Amino acid sequence: EITAIRRDLHKHPELCFHEQRTADVIAKALTDWGIPIHRGLGTTGVVGIIKNGSSDRAVGLRADIDALPMTERNQFPHASSYLGRMHACGHDGHTAMLLAAAKHLATHRNFDGTVYLVFQPAEEGGGGAREMIKDGLFEKFPMEAMFGAHNWPGMKAGQFALKSGPVFASSNEFKITLRGKGSHAAMPHLGLDPVPAACQL
């Protein structure tokens, strides 16, 4: 069942903030397993809620759901159906892994507290986590910690790797605006050319 979902997601990749079909697939699976859901945080985010026992402690498990603007060249039956869109970073796998965890936790309920299943849109440069937070993720679903995993090509199936400290790179985005002043081509000394300044950045 989980393999079929993952292959379906791989075949139908959606770019940041357009993961509507993906969110529908996630929501249907969670609902079918009796897991209450909340939709719409960060536009297309989905949060599942599994409670058990009496503890007020809560943790989050998170997976990213968006694809990349790339064309897939694989030829297997579940290759992307769309030119210019593919799951090249494995978010279909991350989503499937979190759905598998959701089904296991909902079936066995061998914990005391709450597990929030956070399916985040727009991880690939779209700021989906920021948008979910702006929409009240942690106010609506307070949790002590959030955990995620990333697939890792080259690792054997069934193995996990842990490391203390940073593992992946991150980036911050900022914008610089340089303004020049136009002038007649015969009188460039009366203008301000922003190109030399841009070259110095």
- Secondary structure class of 198 (helix, strand, coil): helix
Query: Rounded CA gap, 120 and 103, in Å?
Result: 18
Query: Rounded CA gap, 65 and 120, in Å?
Result: 6
Number of domains composing the chain: 1
Residue 169 lies in a domain: no
| pLDDT of res. 131 | 96
Three-point CA angle 115, 118, 120, nearest 5°: 170
| pLDDT of res. 160 | 86
Residue 191 lies in a domain: no
| pLDDT of res. 154 | 85
Residue 166 lies in a domain: no
Q: Classify the phi-psi angles of 175: left when phi > 0, otherwise alpha if psi is within -120 to 50, otherwise beta.
A: beta
| pLDDT of res. 162 | 85
Residue 119 lies in a domain: yes
Which range marks the domain in which residue 21 is found?
2-148
Residue 186 lies in a domain: no
Three-point CA angle 61, 63, 64, nearest 5°: 150
The CATH number of the domain holding residue 61 is 3.40.630.10
For residue 47, what are its two tokens? 């949060």
pTM, two decimal places: 0.84
| pLDDT of res. 199 | 93
| pLDDT of res. 201 | 86
Residue 24 lies in a domain: yes
Q: Would you give the DSSP letter of residue 33?
A: T
Residue 155 lies in a domain: no
Residue 32 lies in a domain: yes
Q: Would you give the DSSP letter of residue 156?
A: P
CA dist 11 → 7, 8, 84, 153 (Å):
6, 5, 12, 20
Helix (H) or strand (E) holding 108: helix 91-108
pLDDT string in tens for the chain (201-residue length): 999 999 999 999 999 999 999 999 999 999 999 999 999 999 999 999 999 999 999 999 999 999 999 999 999 999 999 999 999 999 999 999 999 999 999 999 999 999 999 999 999 987 999 999 999 999 999 999 999 988 888 889 888 888 888 877 777 778 899 999 999 989 988 999 999 989 998
